[in-house]
Amino acid sequence: MTILLTACQAPTDLKNGDIIFRGKSNGSLSSAIDEVTQTGHDFHFTHIGVVEVKDGKVMVWHAAPEKGVICESLEDFTSGNGKDSVVVGHFRIKGIANHSIEEALELANKYKGQPYDYTYIMESEGFYCSEFVYTIFEQDSVFVLDPMTFKNPETGEYHQGWIDHYQKMGIDIPEGKPGCNPNGMAASDKLDFLGYLSN
């Protein structure tokens, strides 16, 4: 059964360690992420964060362009950069122990202030959004790494957004390197989909 939640609902609907995914953005890079990471599920997510309820307020840990690793309010997370959809998918990790969630949130706090990783290469400095969530739950093997692709699945050619992105950085597209992405993580059989948060 799909549960419809609102961003202003009581924090009891959102619990520590819940995973939330933000919807597709109108930006070219967000479109590039969505188009090359489809899983066959009806999800179009381009960003991911982890919930922590602090003093009755829902906060979200995530790694964001320009901000790096940050903990900010649910309202700020759902507003994105002004172009993102405010519709957010709400997921919960199946059977995870409370102490594992506490350890993940402690790690998140440890990484606060780390820069955003625009290379999307796991070994690079900082974190991209999926890498951050993967890392803080790595000890529990919640998510897996897969070979990354930056190619449009319909054409087999690199998406122009990725060509432009890596040309600006002056590095090769890291095709085939291990990584993770929001759509792939949302499709994990270790997550329960609880519904959508919306205003």
| Neighbour-count burial for 106-141, b at 16+ CB within 10 Å, e otherwise | ebbeebeeeebbbbbbbeeebbbbbbbbbbbbeebe
Task: Give the integer Cα–Cα distance in Å for 117 and 126.
Answer: 5
The pLDDT value recorded for residue 5 is: 42
When pLDDT is cut at 50, 70 and 90, the band that residue 199 belongs to is low
* pLDDT at residue 27, rounded to an integer: 45
Q: Taking Cα atoms as reference points, which of 78, 159, 72 lies closest to residue 120? A: 159
Amino acid at 20: I
Which CATH number characterizes residue 54's domain? Answer: 3.90.1720.10
> What's the predicted TM-score (pTM) here?
0.84
Q: Kindly report, residue by residue over 115-163, the tens digit of the pLDDT.
A: 999 999 999 999 999 999 999 999 999 999 999 999 988 899 998 899 9
End-to-end CA distance of the chain: 20
Full domain range(s) for residue 49: 3-198
Coil/strand/helix, residue 136: helix
Domains of the chain: total: 1
Q: What is the percentage of the chain residues whose pLDDT exceeds 90?
A: 66
Distance CA(159)–CA(113), nearest Å, equals 30
Cα distances from 55 to residues 11, 49, 105, 140, 186, in angstroms, run 10, 19, 15, 27, 28
pLDDT tens track for 53-90: 999 999 999 999 999 999 999 989 987 555 544 568 99
Strands, sheet with 3-6, edge to edge from the N-terminal-most edge strand: 3-6, 191-198, 88-93, 19-23, 45-54, 57-64, 68-73
Residue 56 DSSP label: T
